[in-house]
Amino acid sequence: MTRDSVFNTRRHRLLRTRIPLAENVVSIAIAFALGGVVIWVLAQRDAFDPESRDLPSELLVRDGPAIEIYSRPLNPWIEPGQTRGTAGPALGALPESILDEQWQTGGRARTFDAGNLYEKINGEAEKFLKQGFVSLDYVVLRSAEDGSEIAIELYDQGSVGGSMGVFSEHVSGDRVVEEESGVTFFMTSAGVIGRKDRFFFRVAGDRQNDKITGKSVQLVRAFADLEGADGKAPEGLGILTKAMGIPERDVSFQKKNVFQFDFASDFWFGRLEKDEAARVFVHIADTDADASALLGAIIEAQKADYRMVESADAWTTMQHAFLSTYFSISRQGRSVFGVDNLSDRAGVETVMEEFRERVDLE
């Protein structure tokens, strides 16, 4: 076995034995030139003479119209006899009662649709679009007293379910949800978030003070004037609020991907007070056959994470393999209903019996 040397044992030889005189002269000349440039730059730093660089004034005078460098923006039209801010600017779907002597628009109102919603809320747009988004009206109010500003976003979600679905995604466990004049809302540190009929709104001030809090409360009352689609509550919402007695603030709506199944959509959910994680649900299908097919598909899909506990004509009950919570589902007529995330096995029968006794699902 041969051994190769790691290091080269041959010594390097200097092939160039002398440097020509011309090369030495050029190198020295370049060094002096660079040094001279540096010295000149340092010497000229305070030697600026505007007259030596500006054009003579004679050349700046020319015949013809003057060149307009800045165009003053047009002022909003004000009716004769009215002061600024009382002309009633276009606010889209926003009620005019959001304006008063102290709070006026800080700019024109803007309207966004599904095509350009990303320009306003790029990271959140999909959350609104999947819940039936129609349009967004946006305006900023400015205080005449201290210049503070409030941004108002009013979303038309197309239906009560759409606004409920978006609102439920904003509500966390520590939020105190209130109701006033048909408006469901909760206060934030510098504004308010809420909904009325098919509308969802967000109000955010640029600072935290009593003035912005007071204006946020007034805006809630102003939004009570928003007109809904047709005044008729959706059937699923009526089942949970009227028949089951669940407050509307505890009801939510999911339009797509219910139970993480792409075939399940348009479900209403109601939170149970006795079990914070548990929620009842109901879906109204177009036909009895559609309801039956949906029921079978959900039961079959849930078998991946649940084990069967009870399967009868009345309802089907399953238990989660890891969380040990119960899921029960049934159908009657066009309606698919049940309970999810229930920790008490005995409570399943109570809830399902209550559905059948108090709700006419035929």
Kindly report, residue by residue over 254-293, the tens digit of the pLDDT.
888 899 999 999 999 988 876 678 899 999 999 999 999 9
CATH tag, 96-223 = 3.40.1000
Q: What does the pLDDT read at residue 87?
A: 44
Check: CB of residue 167 under 8 Å from CB of residue 179: no
Helical ranges in 182-322 per DSSP H? 210-223, 235-238, 288-302
The encoded tokens of residue 273 equal 């007070």
Q: Is the dihedral of CA 254, 257, 263, 264 positive or negative?
A: negative
- Mean pLDDT of the 130-147 span: 89
If 0-12 CB within 10 Å is exposed, 13-18 middle and 19+ buried, where does residue 51 land? exposed
Kindly report, residue by residue over 193-235, the tens digit of the pLDDT.
999 988 999 999 988 888 899 999 999 999 988 876 555 678 8
Q: What does the pLDDT read at residue 245?
A: 86
> 346 or 230, which is more confident?
346
- CA pair distance 244, 357, nearest whole angstrom: 10
Kindly report, residue by residue over 94-113, the tens digit of the pLDDT.
888 888 888 888 888 889 99
- CA pair distance 317, 329, nearest whole angstrom: 7
Q: What does the pLDDT read at residue 86?
A: 46
The number of C-alpha atoms within 13 Å of 177 and in the hemisphere containing its C-beta is 19
Q: Domain map of the chain by residue range?
A: 96-223, 235-358
- CA pair distance 267, 285, nearest whole angstrom: 10
- CA pair distance 203, 152, nearest whole angstrom: 5
pLDDT-derived band of residue 2, with 50, 70 and 90 as boundaries? low
Identical fold at 96-223 and 235-358?
yes
In the chain, the amino acid numbered 40 is W
Whether 14 has a pLDDT exceeding 70, the answer reads no
In the chain, the amino acid numbered 269 is F
Q: What does the pLDDT read at residue 67?
A: 66
> 163 or 9, which is more confident?
163
The encoded tokens of residue 23 equal 């090369």
pLDDT-derived band of residue 340, with 50, 70 and 90 as boundaries? very high
Average pLDDT, the chain: 83
Kindly report, residue by residue over 322-334, the tens digit of the pLDDT.
989 999 999 988 8
Whether 358 has a pLDDT exceeding 80, the answer reads no
pLDDT-derived band of residue 50, with 50, 70 and 90 as boundaries? low
Of 236, 152, 162, nearest in space to 202 by CA: 152
Kindly report, residue by residue over 294-313, the tens digit of the pLDDT.
999 999 999 999 999 888 77
Matching CATH number, 235-358, of 3.30.70, 3.30.160, 2.60.120, 3.40.1000:
3.40.1000
> 329 or 75, which is more confident?
329
Q: What percent of the chain has pLDDT over 70?
A: 83
Instruction: For residue 150, give the H/E element and its range.
Output: strand 149-156
> 338 or 75, which is more confident?
338
Q: With left for phi above 0 and alpha for psi between -120 and 50, is residue 324 left, alpha or beta?
A: left
Helical ranges in the chain per DSSP H? 21-44, 57-60, 125-129, 160-170, 210-223, 235-238, 288-302, 345-358
- Phi, then psi, of 135 in degrees rounded to 5: -160, 160
For the ranges 73-82, 137-146, 179-188, 226-235, which has the lowest average pLDDT?
A: 73-82
- pTM (predicted TM-score): 0.63
